[in-house]
């Protein structure tokens, strides 16, 4: 965790997670909420984060596939 600390401001911590070339910054409040939800679901925080990034990757893939289908549909419409 890194500290964001200035002399006159309250201390705030955050975590940086790197995934597929992108950096995601998780603030303390979000981290606490993620840990609580993982515990409620009987998961470790590692499992929770892995699940989140798996879902993100699947959503990106689905979005690309839909975009590809849209391009094919438009090109077929234009050629008729």
Torsion over CA: 35, 40, 42, 43 (sign):
negative
- Residue 50: give the domain boundaries: 2-78
Beta strands in the chain (DSSP E): 2-4, 12-19, 22-27
- pLDDT tens, position by position, 39-61: 999 999 999 999 999 999 999 88
Note the pTM of the prediction, 2 decimals: 0.63
Q: Give the closest residue to 17 by CA, choosing from 39, 45, 41.
A: 45
- pLDDT tens, position by position, 59-72: 988 888 887 755 55
Give the CA diameter of the chain: 68
Q: Give the closest residue to 28 by CA, choosing from 2, 47, 5, 46.
A: 2
The tokens describing 32, both together, are 């606490």
What pLDDT does 34 receive?
A: 95
Task: Report the number of distinct structural domains present in the chain.
Answer: 1
């Amino acid at each position: 965790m890194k500290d964001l600390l200035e002399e006159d401001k309250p201390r705030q911590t955050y975590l940086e997670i790197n995934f597929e070339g992108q950096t995601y910054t998780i603030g303390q409040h979000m981290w606490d909420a993620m840990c609580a939800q993982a515990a409620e679901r009987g998961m470790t925080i590692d499992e929770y984060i892995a699940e989140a990034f798996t879902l993100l990757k699947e959503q990106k893939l689905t979005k690309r596939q839909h975009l590809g289908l849209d391009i094919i549909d438009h090109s077929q419409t234009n050629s008729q």
